[in-house]
Amino acid sequence: MNERYGEYERSQWKFAYKGKHLLPHARRRLAELRAEEAQLRERLAGLVRDPASFHDDTRLQQLKAEVDRLSGVREQFEVYCHEFRRTPDKDFSLKLGDLVFFRVHTGEAGSSEPEPHDD
């Protein structure tokens, strides 16, 4: 029971980050997504060019769906980068899942220590 309460409590945590601290993480993730999308598009083009796989509609549709999904996430990160660049001193309130989404926990994009949240 105590463990369950701890899980509930963690789901309520919030962290304040300034846009300028989130921007390096968003840019890094955007670069990763662009590279992934380019690779998938190359694979898709290769399947279309290859007469042996051109008629494998299931495989083509799966790959196209993955390209579509990835391009949607890439577009989200383009918007995040724009917003963080536009409002570098704005505080953004992030939950634990947001930190994972932006991969802030990896610490690879520079200093971005969370600031205490005033809620």
**Residue among 77, 67, 28 nearest 46 (CA):** 67
Report d(CA 33, CA 81) in Å as an integer: 13
Q: Quick one: pLDDT at residue 88?
A: 98
Higher pLDDT among residues 81 and 109, named by residue: 81
Contact partners, residue 17, CB within 8 Å, separation at least 6: 91, 92, 94, 104, 112, 114, 115
Mean pLDDT (the chain, rounded): 86
Domain ranges of the chain: 13-106
The one-letter amino acid code at 23 reads: L
Mean pLDDT for 78-84 is 98
